[in-house]
Amino acid sequence: MELSLDLTKRYTYADYYTWWDNTRRELVHGLIKLMSPAPTAEHQRVIGNLHGELRHIIKKHRGKCEVFVAPFDVRLPKNGEQDDKRIDTVVQPDICIVCDPAKIDRRGCLGAPDFIAEVQSPATTRYDLYEKFALYESSGVREYWVVFPSSGVQVFLLQPDGKYDEGTAYEAGKIPVHIFNGIEIDLEEIIGC
């Protein structure tokens, strides 16, 4: 059963949490963003590879961080707001890492993850590179990876001024995972280039 929702109306997480149909959505500043149907096999393969690498790193180094894969609700409140009726942004990043266990609850993550990766598909590139980029930057996500399954990864790091740097492109070799000092992932293990 699909709900009939007004795409021009603003909603909150309290509304979002009541929508029990099979449609995947995100809320950005209260506006509904419909998500595309199931991703391609290539997209899912890349997500699986990256998730496996990150999970292995965390487990090997006995880290307190946790890695999550979509669908996983990340609520991005403004000014530390905790009331579901006031939170108007909920996203489902392809992959996120949360290092503060206090941010995890039974419904997902409340607050900015330390790391987010979005794997690109033709339908999501503009959204991920502009809207989500600005959203993750303003929310304080420390490290943002934009993964292009056929060509590489663009890594953005949050600077002390609260803005992302211009980004670093990786088309081969090892990519540092900056939230874990001295840890790298081989790009070939992620996208098989």
Q: Which domain holds residue 69?
A: 37-191
193 against 83, higher pLDDT: 83
Tokens representing 159 are 């600077």
What pTM was estimated for this model as a whole?
0.93
Where does the chain have alpha helices with state H? 13-16, 41-60, 125-126, 132-139, 187-191
Q: In 58-111, at which residue ranges do the beta strands (DSSP E only) sit?
A: 66-69, 74-75, 90-91, 95-98, 104-105, 108-110
Q: Which of 23-27, 55-59, 186-190 has the lowest mean pLDDT?
A: 23-27
Amino acid at 191: I
SS3 63: coil
**Does any domain span residue 1?**
no
**pLDDT tens, 101-121?**
999 999 999 999 999 999 998
Highest mean predicted confidence (pLDDT) among 26-35, 40-49, 141-150: 141-150
**Does any domain span residue 172?**
yes
| Rounded (5°) CA angle 144-14-97 | 25
Q: At 178, is the pLDDT very low, low, confident or very high (cuts 50, 70, 90)?
A: very high
Any idea what the CATH number is for the domain that residue 135 is in? 3.90.1570.10
**Does any domain span residue 164?**
yes
Residue 193: pLDDT over 60: no
Residue 146: pLDDT over 90: yes
Q: Comparing C-alpha atoms, which of 165, 186, 154 is closest to residue 54?
A: 186
pLDDT reported for residue 2:
59
Q: At 53, is the pLDDT very low, low, confident or very high (cuts 50, 70, 90)?
A: very high
49 against 80, higher pLDDT: 49
With beta carbons less than 8 A apart as the criterion, state whether 74 and 109 touch: yes
pLDDT reported for residue 1:
52
**Does any domain span residue 109?**
yes
Mean pLDDT (whole number) for 4-33: 89
* Number of domains making up the chain: 1
**pLDDT tens, 78-101?**
888 888 999 999 999 999 999 999
pLDDT reported for residue 150:
87
**Does any domain span residue 6?**
no
**Cα–Cα distance between 24 and 164 in angstroms, integer?**
28
pLDDT reported for residue 113:
98
19: Cβ contacts below 8 Å, ≥ 6 apart: 3, 5, 25
pLDDT reported for residue 23:
82
**Does any domain span residue 64?**
yes
**Does any domain span residue 125?**
yes
Residue 3: pLDDT over 80: no
